[in-house]
Amino acid sequence: MTDPDRPDYPIDEAVEAADGQPVAPVSQTRRRVLALGAAGAGAVLSIRPALAQTAGSVLTCQIPVPDSGRAGSFIAPDGSTVPAGTKGAFAPPGRPFQGEDVKRAMAGGRLPGTTYESNRAYVNYIRRLQRGQGGFTCFASLQMPRG
């Protein structure tokens, strides 16, 4: 059904400018809004993996930094392993960390014998552990809720 005064513009689709002159309907592709700022807790929530472990063995299990496959490598601030001597990276701690020490560090404490910066580097390394790397099972078990 068109407006008899404006036969080219259907009544229910006519758009008028402020001066009353008709304006042809404009169609445009509207892109979805994507907000890059965080609302609340951020955009990524990591869920604890489900692995069976007794409470005692969790706290006494060990996590080497780095694992034996990367022995001698230094730890960069983001937790990646880099060649020994890389500027800004940290030498390995020299002994594996106990599960209870890592659990405490994950809760905001500090690994024994570390500075603020080296603690952060080691914790980032541990957070990046993958299945097959030494210490992965111990780390994964630390995140298992205890009943």
Partner 1 sequence: MRFRAAPADALLQASLDPFTAVFHRPSGQTHLLVSPAPEMLAALADGPLSLSDLHDALAAAFQLEDAEGLADRMAELVAAGLVTAEPAA
Distance between CA 99 and CA 59 in Å, rounded?
A: 4
Contact between 136 and partner 1 by CB under 8 A: the answer reads yes
Half-sphere exposure of 147 (CA within 13 A, CB side): 4
124 part of the interface to partner 1, by CB under 8 A: yes
Does 131 engage in binding with partner 1 (CB under 8 A)? yes
Of 34, 56, 85, 94, the one binding partner 1 (CB under 8 A) is 34
Choice between 18 and 36, CB closer to partner 1: 36
Q: How far apart are CA 121 and CA 77, in angstroms?
A: 4
> Using the rule CB under 8 A, is 36 a contact of partner 1?
yes
Q: Which stretch binds partner 1 (CB under 8 A): 52-60, 96-104, 110-118, 121-129?
A: 121-129
Q: How many residues does the chain have?
A: 147
Burial class (CB in 10 A: 0-12, 13-18, 19+), 140: middle
Residues that bind partner 1 (CB under 8 A): 30-38, 42-47, 49, 51, 78, 80, 124, 127-132, 136, 140
